[in-house]
Amino acid sequence: MRISIMAAGVAVLALAGCSASEEAAESPAVEMTEHAQTPDAFVRSLYSVEAGGTKVPNEDLTVGAVETPGIWSARTDALIGETEALGEPGEYAYFEADPICDCQDDGGMVLKSVTVTPTGANRADATVVLEWAGAQPVERKTQTFRLVNEGGAWKIDDIVRDQTGAYPQAPLVEAMTRWIAETRAAKAQ
C-alpha cells in the first residue's frame, strides 16, 4: 500500500478543474504550495484538508490510491517503496495506521501546536501536538517530524513518536528498516 493518505494529495487532485482565482480562494493545497518554504507551513499543510480544518481524512481502502508526491525525503520514500514491495497483495505491508497522525481514526483530531527547531542548514525538527477532543478523557499525542530540505522543498525524513506513553515506538525509519530486514528473513526461509 502506497502511503497515500495525505490530505494535500486529495486537495491537489480536487484543484484540477479550478481556475487560479478559485484555487487561491478555496484551497488549502494552494497554501501548501505557496507557503511550504518554511518547515512550520509544510507541517501545518499536512493537516489542512479544508478551509480552517486540521484533520487528516480517514483512508478508504475501496478508493484507488492518491499519490502525494513530495512529502517524503528520498531516503524515507525508498524505504516506504521497499515495504510495499515486500507486502502481500491485498494486505497492509508496513503501515496499519496513518503515520502523520499516528492514528487509525482521526475523527475529532485537532492540530494544537507546531514547534520548529532548526537542527542544521537544511534540517529542522517540527514537534506537533495533536488532540482528540471527542475522546473522554481528551487524548493528546506529541510527535516530532525530522525534516530535510531537498530540492528547495521541506520533506519528512523521519517521525519520532512520544516515548513517554504506554506503548513507546521506535522512530519511523528505524522501525521500517527493522521490519524490512525481518520480512526479508522470513521470506527467505
In this prediction, residue 185 carries a pLDDT of 94
Q: Which of 78, 129, 80 is nearest to 102 (CA)?
A: 129
Look at residue 135 and tell me whether its pLDDT is greater than 80.
no
pLDDT in the model for residue 68: 52
pLDDT tier at 26 (50, 70, 90 boundaries)?
very low
- Which helix (H) or strand (E) element contains residue 64? none
pLDDT at 7 (0 to 100): 33
127 found inside a domain: yes
Average pLDDT over residues 129-135: 80
Establish if 2 belongs to a structural domain. no
Q: What share of the chain is helix, strand, coil (3-state, %, to 5)?
A: 35, 25, 40
Q: Which helix (H) or strand (E) holds 23?
A: helix 20-26
Summarised one tens digit per residue, pLDDT across range 148-164 is 999 999 999 999 998 77
Residue 31 has pLDDT above 50, yes or no: no
Note whether residue 1 is domain-resident: no
Average pLDDT, the chain: 73
Report the number of distinct structural domains present in the chain: 1
Residue 134, Cα to own-chain centre: how many angstroms? 22
In this prediction, what percent of the chain has a pLDDT beyond 70?
67
Q: Out of 111-115, 129-133, 176-180, which region has the weakest mean confidence (pLDDT)? A: 129-133
Pairwise pLDDT comparison (84 vs 109), residue with the higher score: 84
pLDDT of residue 44: 87
Domain span holding position 113? 7-188
